[in-house]
Amino acid sequence: MRLLMIHTGGGEGSVALADTSEEPAIVATEVLPGRTSSERLVPAVRRLMGALGWTLSELAAVVVVHGPGSFTGVRVGVSAAKGLSEAGGVPLVAVSRLALLAACIDGGGNPVHAVLDAGRGEFYYGEYLGRRCLREALLSAQDVLAAAAGGVVVVCEDKPAEALAGLGLRIVHEPSASDALPLALERIEVGEFDDASTLDANYLRRTDAEIFAKPAAPRAAK
């Protein structure tokens, strides 16, 4: 089974190819430095697949980490994955970046709380039990402290690590595209795919209109 995996929602992007008949299964990777995904993503995919002689139509699926994260990066990755899926006529699997982060550690049967920086003093928060998502939300630092108190908390960025230092964090490296393989294989095994025509980015963010909206003035009594 051959898979193309894309992750462009973090500090730097990455692309990976996997072949489950090989050991190890990850057969090619490329890092997209900084925030260069918009220029380098599709050429990187073509380069990696061309080097191995792969074609889109023989892929079992295109896998994309669809956020939350950098607005531009997530949008670029999702758009490219949808286009490649439709062009090759192959299934699409979208993986949450919070799920990817939570899967980096073993919760020992307890919920794992994954936290990412959302900017504006807020955080992307996900609570997972094994591979099962209990919830994902956009929360303040205070709300994260309350939600994750006493649990296993995993972060991969400086701001969440600093804001939540009192929780006894597990700090890991930012997951890459290749780390999505186990999650993708579980989805493929049960035939759980995403619709390329309706898949959207997993932003978990309120719009500016909601953030800056002013309460409506009360109507005068008649």
What's the pLDDT tens digit per position in 45-68?
999 999 999 999 999 999 999 999
Instruction: Provide the H-helix boundaries in 53-140.
Output: 71-88, 97-102
Range 60-84 average pLDDT: 96
Helix-strand-coil percent breakdown of the chain, rounded to 5? 35, 25, 35
CATH of 104-171, one of 3.30.420.40, 3.30.930.10, 1.10.1200.10, 2.40.50.140: 3.30.420.40
pLDDT tens digits, one per residue of 149-201: 888 999 999 999 999 988 889 999 999 999 999 999 999 999 999 999 999 99
| CA–CA distance, 174 with 72 (Å, rounded to integer) | 18
Reply yes or no on domain 2-96+175-206 having CATH 3.30.420.40: yes
Other CB atoms within 10 A of residue 150 CB? 10
Q: What residues does CATH 3.30.420.40 cover in the chain?
A: 2-96+175-206, 104-171
Angle (CA) 14-20-26 rounded to 5° is: 30
Give 206's pLDDT tier (boundaries 50, 70, 90).
Answer: low
